[in-house]
Amino acid sequence: MTVTALLGENVNSLRRSRAVLACALLLGSLGQAGADETAPLASAANSDAPGYRMSFKELGKDYTMGLRGTESSDTVNFDMRADEVVTGAQLTLQYSYSPALLSELSQINIMINDEVAGSLPLPKETAGTVQKHTLEIPPYLITEFNRLSVQLIGHYSMQCEDPAHSSLWAKISSDSQLSIQVAQVELPNDLAALPLPFFDRRDRRALALPFVFAAAPDNTVLEAAGAVSSWLGALASYRGARFSTELQQLPAKGNGIVLVNSDAASHLDGLDLPAVQGPTLAIVSNPNDRFGKLLVIAGRNSDEIKRAATALVVGSRNLSGQSVQVDAVDILVPRKPYDAPNWLPTDRPVRLGELIQPRELGVSGYAPATITVPVRLPPDLFNWREDGARLNLKYRYTPQQVSSNSSLLVSFNDRFIHSMNLPSIQSMGAAQSLLAALKTDDSLAREVSMRLPLDAVALQSRLQFRYMYDYVKQGECNDIIIDNMRGAIDPDSTLDLSGYQHYMAMPNLGVFKDSGFPFTRLADLSQTAVILPDGAGAADWNAYLTVLGRFGESTGYPATAVTVAQADGVAALADKDLLVLASGANQPLLEAWAEHLPSKTVDNKRYVEFSDLPLRLREWISPDPVANLRKARGALTLVSDNGASWVSGFESPLKPGRSVVLLSSPQPQQLGEITDALIGGEAYTQALQGSLVMVKGRNIQSLVAEESYYVGHLGPFKYLQWMLSRHVLLLLGLTVAGIALVSLAAYFSLRAVARRRLKDE
C-alpha cells in the first residue's frame, strides 16, 4: 500500500494534553482543599461528573475471591481510555471475614498499583456477615494501566500461629463495584493513533459506534462499511460490538465513521472535508462535540470508498497525519480455508507462546492462580474415533526440599485431563544429574505428552494449568511461609491438531452463533454473499454491520472480500454461502424459497415446524450427526399481531453443499433482537442451535435440528470407515461378500494346486 501524507501532527501531544489536564485538575483540587481544610470530602459518586461503574465480575473476576493465610491477596486489572483522565474514584467493597480474626492485628488493604489506597478494619461485631464499605480512592494513584489488589492481613492469636490455619480467611464478592469519574481529553487528529479513539483496547465496555452515510449507500459502499465493522469487531473481541447507522446526519456526541462520496459531502452539515482527489482517509473533529472524532472514508465514487476502507483495515499501522490519499491496495496472498488468525491452525503444531503472552505462563507462591490459555477451535473438526489433540507440555518448577503431594494439574474446560507429580529434592536424591539441572537455575525442567479429547467441547475453550504445592508443617512456632515457589509453562510447549479433518453435518446454527461458520471458513468472507432486502433501511444496515462485526470477532480478520447484493442478483452468487436478511415482507427470497423454509408466512399466517429439540438438556453439539438430529415432528399455523423473529439454516437451493442462513423479523426494528442474541450475554439462558430458532426479546427457542447435507472433506479411507459405521446392514453385507470372495479365491486356488499335483503324478 502506498500513501501520501497530507498533514502530520505529533502523536506525543496526546500524552502532553493528558498530563497537563491531570496537573490542572490536581492543582485545582489542592487549591480548593487549602481554601477550606475543614470541609468534609465530597463523594464524587454523587457528582454530575461523567463516569461509569464496573463490578469485579465485569473486570474479569467472575468468582468470589478467597483470601487465606496471614498474608494473601488477589488482583483485578482496569485501564483508562486514552481520551479520559480520572477526576474521582470510589470502591464499594462487598466482603465477609472470619470471626476468629483479631481486630487489633487484622485488616483488609486496598492497593492501587501497589500503593495503599486505604485499609478496612475487621471488628469482631460484624465478623461472619456480609459487609459493604465505600472507600475513596485518590485519583493520582490511577494511571493508564492499573492493578487493584485486595490484601488480607490476618492473625488469630497473639502467640505462635499456623500461617495456613483454616480460620484465616476473608471473601470478596464479585459484585464489588469500582466507580470512576472522568474528564474528557481532546485528542489530536492523527491517523497514527488508530484505532484510537474509535476503539480503545483499555476500555472493557462493549463497543458502540455509529456509521454515517452521506447518501443512501449502494452495495459497494456497504461492502466497504462491512469491512470496517468486521475490523472493529475483531478489535473489540470479547467485549462485543454493536453498530448503528445515520443518514445525512453526524453524531450529536462522541465518535463516528463517515463514508462519503465527494459529490454528496455537502449533505453532511458541518463536515469540513478537503478536496477529494482519490481514495482518502482522514480524521476530523466532530462539529457537534469537540471531544468527538470522525473517521472519514471518502472517494470520488463507491469503488474508491471501498479501496480506502480496505487500506484502513489492512494497513492502519502504516498511516499517519490527519489525512492520507491511497494510491493502491494490493492483497498479495489470498486467504486459505481455516487460516483465520483467531483459530487454532490444523496444519501444524502450535506453540502455546502464540496463544498467550509468555509472561502470563508463570506463577508464584504456594497457592498460585491457574494459568489459562485460550484456545479457539475450528468449528468443523471431525472428531469421530479420534484420540484427541496432542499436547507436548514442557514445564518448570521449584523443587521443594521435602514434599510428597506437590503436583501440576492439567484441565481442559474445567475437565480434569492429567496430573504430574512434582518430586522434591529429597525424593530425587542427590544425583549428579539433578545437581547439574539445578546448577544454573533453581527450577527443574520436565516434559510430558498427553491427549486432549475434543469431543463435545466448546469452540472457545480453555487449557488450564494449576501448580499445587505441598505445604509441609514444621511444628508449633516453626511454621513460616517463604514465597520462593515458582512454576512456569514453557512457551515452546505445543498443541497439535494436524491429525484432524474438516467435515460437519449442516445446518447448525450453534456454530453460526459461536463462530459465524460456514461464512467464516475463509477469514475475508470471499465465499460469502449478504442478500439485503429490497429498499433496505437503517435497521437492515445496523443488523448487517453488527453481524459482520461478530464475524470479525470470530476470525480476527476484516471481511475485505464480502459481497453485498439483493434478491434479483442471487443467481450469479450460486457458488457462495448466503446470509439473507429480511424485515417484514421486503425479501423476495422468502417466497421464492418457501419450500425450503421450516418457518414461513403465508397470507399473514405463520407456519412453524417443531421437534423435541427444546426438551434436550444439553446445548453442546455432538460430533456424531445422528445424536444431533431432531427432525420435525409437527407443525403449527399461527396468527399474531406481534410476531417473533426467526433464524433458519438450510442448504442453498442454488448449489448443493452451499449454505443459507436467514435472519427474519416481522418488523425492521426487531432485527436487533437477533443480533443481540448472536452476541449473547448473561441475560440469555438459551443459545441458538439446530436449524430453526425463534427469538422473542431475551427468549430463545430452538425448534428443529434437521441436518440434511455436509460441508468439508474426508479422506477416502476415513469416509469409508465412517459410512460403514453408520450403516450396519451395509457393513454386514460387505463382510459376507468379502468372506464369500475370499472363500471362492481359496477354493479355486486349492483346486489349481490339486490339478498341478495330479498332473505331476
Q: Is there a single domain that holds both residue 134 and residue 270?
A: no
- Domain end call among 164, 184, 204: 184
Same domain, 515 and 662: yes
> What CA–CA distance (Å, rounded) separates 213 from 586?
22
Confidence band (pLDDT; 50, 70, 90) for 478?
Answer: low
26 falls within a domain: no
Question: Does some domain include residue 12?
Answer: no
Q: Confidence class of residue 738 from pLDDT cuts 50, 70 and 90?
A: confident
pLDDT at residue 1 above 70? no
Report pLDDT for 474. Answer: 64
- Whether 16 is covered by a domain: the verdict is no
Going by DSSP bridges, is the β-strand pair 407-412/362-364 parallel, antiparallel, or unpaired?
A: unpaired
593, part of any domain: yes
- Give the list of residues 6+ apart from residue 22 with CB closer than 8 angstroms, or none: 85, 140
CA-CA distance, 351 to 361, in Å (whole number)? Answer: 12
Q: Which amino acid is at 309?
A: A
- Domain shared by 418 and 563, yes or no: no
Determine the pLDDT at residue 69. 86
Instruction: Report the predicted TM-score, pTM, of the whole model to 2 decimal places.
Output: 0.84
SS3 state of residue 485: coil
Same domain, 557 and 442: no
pLDDT of residue 283: 94
Would the CA dihedral through 644, 647, 651, 653 be positive or negative?
positive
For residue 20, how far is the Cα from the chain centroid?
A: 36
The CATH number assigned to the domain holding 570 equals 3.30.379
Domain stops at, among 150, 184, 218: 184
Q: CB neighbours of 723 closer than 8 A, spacing ≥ 6?
A: 730
Three cell numbers, residue 347: 496444519
pLDDT single digits (tens) 299-330: 999 999 999 999 999 988 889 999 999 888 88
Residues 617 and 751 in one domain: no
Within-domain flag for 366: yes
* 266 or 392, higher pLDDT: 392
Angle between helices 538-555 and 219-236 in degrees, nearest 10: 50
Give the C-alpha separation, 582 to 596, whole Å. Answer: 16
Same domain, 243 and 364: no
Res 631 pLDDT > 70: no
Neighbouring C-alpha atoms within 13 Å toward the C-beta of 698? 5
Q: How far apart are the first and last CA of the chain?
A: 88
Same domain, 239 and 262: yes
Q: pLDDT per residue over 410-448, tens digit each?
A: 999 888 999 998 887 777 765 545 555 554 555 678 899
pLDDT at 637 over 80: no
- Give tens-digit pLDDT for 322-352: 999 988 888 767 899 999 999 999 989 999 9
CB 137 within 8 A of CB 167: no
Out of 363-367, 543-547, 635-639, 643-647, give the one with best mean pLDDT: 543-547
β-partners of residue 391 are 450, 495
pLDDT given at position 479: 57
Instruction: Give SS3 for 302.
Output: helix
The helix/strand/coil state of 268 is coil
Tell me, yes or no, whether 204 and 321 share the same domain.
yes
For the chain, give the mean pLDDT: 83
- How large a percentage of the chain has pLDDT more than 70? 83
CA distances from 540 to 172, 223, 535 (A): 44, 14, 9
The domain boundary, picked from 297, 328, 359, lies at 328
Contact present, 703 and 571 (Cβ < 8 Å) = no
Look up residue 650 and give its amino acid: F
pLDDT tier at 653 (50, 70, 90 boundaries)?
A: very high
Predicted confidence band of residue 108 (pLDDT cuts 50, 70, 90) = very high
Lowest-confidence pick of 53-67, 124-138, 438-452, 651-665 = 438-452
Residue 102 lies in a domain: yes
Question: What span, in angstroms and rounded, lies between the C-alpha atoms of 23 and 37?
Answer: 20
- 179-228 tens-digit pLDDT: 999 999 999 999 999 999 999 998 988 999 999 998 899 999 999 999 99
Flag whether pLDDT at 78 surpasses 70.
yes
Choose between 684 and 21: higher pLDDT.
684
Between 439 and 368, whose confidence is greater? 368
For the residues 94-117, what does the mean pLDDT come to? 94
Q: How many domains does the chain have?
A: 5
Strands (DSSP E) found in 174-229: 177-184, 207-213
Q: DSSP secondary-structure letter at 381?
A: B
* DSSP 8-state class, residue 585: S
Banded pLDDT at 49 (limits 50, 70, 90): low
pLDDT of residue 21: 42
Q: What's the CATH code of the domain at 276?
A: 3.30.379.10
Instruction: State which residues form the domain around 599.
Output: 506-711
Three-state SS for 533-572 is CCCCCHHHHHHHHHHHHHHHHHHCCCCCCCEEECHHHHHH
Is pLDDT of 177 > 60?
Answer: yes
Instruction: Identify the band that residue 22 occupies on the pLDDT scale cut at 50, 70 and 90.
Output: very low
Answer yes or no: are the C-beta atoms of 324 and 3 closer than 8 Å: yes
The reply to whether 23 falls in a domain is no
Based on the domain organization, do 143 and 199 belong to the same domain? no
User: Which pLDDT value is given to residue 559?
Assistant: 95
* Per-residue model confidence (pLDDT) at position 439: 46
User: Has residue 3 got a pLDDT over 80?
Assistant: no
Query: Dihedral of CA 495/498/499/500: which sign?
Result: positive
Tell me, yes or no, whether 491 lies in a domain: yes
Are residues 170 and 105 part of one domain? yes
How deeply is 240 buried, as exposed, middle or buried, from its count of CB atoms within 10 A (0-12, 13-18, 19+)?
buried
- The three grid cell numbers given for residue 134, joined into one nine-digit string: 465505600
Residue 605, pLDDT score: 55
Question: Per-residue confidence at 669, pLDDT binned at 50, 70, 90?
Answer: confident
The pLDDT of residue 45: 38
Which pLDDT does position 386 carry in this prediction?
A: 84
Region 122-138 average pLDDT: 93
Q: How confident is the model over 155-160, as a mean pLDDT?
A: 85
Report d(CA 701, CA 685) in Å as an integer: 10
Q: Is the pLDDT of residue 154 over 50?
A: yes
For residue 736, give Cα distances in angstroms to 235, 731, 733, 739: 59, 9, 5, 5
Q: What is the 3-state secondary structure (H, E, C) of 272-284?
A: CCCCCCCCEEEEE
The pLDDT of residue 42 = 33
Burial class (CB in 10 A: 0-12, 13-18, 19+), 148: buried
CATH number of the domain residue 179 falls in:
2.60.120.260
Cβ within 8 Å of residue 204, ≥6 positions away: 54, 58, 59, 60, 78, 79, 239
Identify the burial level of 260 via C-beta atoms within 10 angstroms of its C-beta, where 0-12 means exposed, 13-18 middle and 19 or more buried: buried
- 708 band by pLDDT with thresholds 50, 70 and 90: confident
The type of residue at 32 is Q
Residues 367, 371, 373: CA angle, nearest 5 degrees: 170
In terms of domains, do 371 and 314 share one? no
204 plus 177 within the same structural domain: no
Share of the chain above pLDDT 90, in %: 49
d(CA 422, CA 411): 17
Residue 304: CA atoms inside 13 Å, Cβ hemisphere, count?
Answer: 18
Gap between the Cα atoms of 368 and 717, Å rounded: 47
Q: What is the pLDDT of residues 483-533, one digit of tens each?
A: 677 889 999 999 999 889 999 988 889 899 999 999 999 999 999 999 999
